[in-house]
Amino acid sequence: MINPFGWIGSQIVRWLTDERPLAGTPQCNFDRLSFEMRPCDVLLVEGRSRVSDVIKTITQSQWTHAALYIGRLHDIEDETTREHVSWLYDGDPNDQLIIEPMLGKGTIVSPLNHYAKDHVRICRPTGLSRGDARRVVGFAAKHLGRDYDVRQILDLGRFLLPYSFLPRRWRSSLFEHNIGPSTRTVCSTMIASAFSSVQFPIMPVVHRSEDGKVKLYKRNTRLYVPRDFDTSPYFEIIKYPILGLDDLAVYRRLPWDTEGVICNDENECFIPGENGAAPVMVTDPAGKPEQHDATDEPDPLKSKPATPGGL
């Protein structure tokens, strides 16, 4: 028997997550970004779904989704974690992988190139040790298969309706401290919890006492949103625009010869022959007239052609 409430919920989820077609060319050079990514980098994504629009409205940020990059399977140092991820991912072992909680799918491992056509950005935890990076990946991998916190998304969905039309008891409880059961998660919550497990700060609560001493307190991980990784002072922001200003590197502006001259040293240069032709010697590649002493005699060792046996 079909559960009508379950069916209605699935239809709402499908409606919220339906993505619009990509409009225009992405601003990100994804090939460069994917080449530069390191395990434990946080990938921020500007989504194209209705729920993404709601998150943009609430957070006042274009970033609507976050995923944790874990590298390729052979990049995962912990053997148990590597086997667990390998068991759940049946794609190419050389794929670059991310762990992400997804509405309607739960916490899954996905290929990085799933976001090749989206506007994305890297947030890199500054100074994260290798051992802690391994523990962060392991923490995230243990969440694979967990359900997505649909209640939290449905709370967001209420913002699609005129706020004044909703009864007070129906208004969103998104930012309440006790929202959602502990067996469920959303993208930012899972990633924030992973970093919190190794005492790495994102946006901690800072308390300064009267004597000037500073103490940090962990922020409730259920209150994190994707933009917090962007604004955190403990994450380096890395961008690779599609037309980067650094693409024309400084070394390309050096006054290189354009005639194809190759030199053995500053006095012996030549132009390689084409189609098997002999190279053309260029004794003065700079084009300056050669100077010779009138009394100079030709060197017989240089003018005499070589013979077999060196004679």
What digits encode the pLDDT tens for the residues 176-234?
444 444 434 457 889 999 999 999 999 999 998 888 899 999 988 877 889 999 999 99
Q: Which residues are within 8 A (CB) of 105 and not within 5 positions of it... i.e. 6 or more apart?
A: 148
Quick one: average pLDDT of 274-280? 61
Rounded distance between C-alpha atoms, residue 256 and residue 210, angstroms: 63
| H or E, element range at 265 | strand 262-265
3-state SS assignment for residue 70: strand
Rounded distance between C-alpha atoms, residue 177 and residue 275, angstroms: 75
The answer to whether 207 and 217 are in contact (CB under 8 A) is yes
Q: Of 40-54, 62-76, 162-176, 248-262, give the lowest mean pLDDT range.
A: 162-176
Q: How confident is the model at residue 137, as a pLDDT?
A: 97
Q: How confident is the model at residue 302 (pLDDT cuts 50, 70, 90)?
A: very low
Rounded distance between C-alpha atoms, residue 133 and residue 107, angstroms: 19
Rounded distance between C-alpha atoms, residue 127 and residue 161, angstroms: 43
Strand 184-185 versus strand 147-148 pairing type: parallel
Q: Of 69-78, 84-93, 99-108, 271-280, give the lowest mean pLDDT range.
A: 271-280
Q: Which residues does residue 80 pair with via DSSP β-bridges, in sequence order?
A: none
The answer to whether 187 and 201 are in contact (CB under 8 A) is no
Q: How confident is the model at residue 148 (pLDDT cuts 50, 70, 90)?
A: low
pLDDT tens digits for 43-95?
999 988 787 887 787 778 889 899 999 999 999 999 999 999 999 999 999 99
Whether the per-residue pLDDT at 158 is higher than 90: the answer is no
Phi, psi (degrees; rounded to nearest 5) at 225? -125, 165
**Which domains are assigned to the chain?**
25-238 (3.90.1720.10)
Q: How confident is the model at residue 45, as a pLDDT?
A: 93
Q: Judging by beta carbons within 10 Å of its beta carbon (0-12, 13-18, 19+), is residue 293 exposed, middle or buried? A: exposed
φ/ψ bin of 65: left (φ > 0), alpha (ψ from -120 to 50), beta (otherwise): beta
Q: How confident is the model at residue 52, as a pLDDT?
A: 80
Q: How confident is the model at residue 297, as a pLDDT?
A: 47
Q: How confident is the model at residue 139 (pLDDT cuts 50, 70, 90)?
A: very high
Q: Could you give the angle at the alpha carbon of 102 between the alpha carbons of 75 and 51, nearest 5°?
A: 135
Whether the per-residue pLDDT at 131 is higher than 60: the answer is yes
* Predicted TM-score (pTM) above 0.75: no
Q: How confident is the model at residue 22, as a pLDDT?
A: 75
Rounded distance between C-alpha atoms, residue 58 and residue 62, angstroms: 10
Q: Of 42-46, 171-175, 280-284, give the lowest mean pLDDT range.
A: 171-175
Q: Which residues does residue 71 pair with via DSSP β-bridges, in sequence order?
A: 97
* Two tokens, residue 299: 């060197």
CA proximity to 79, closest of 146, 145, 143, 138: 138
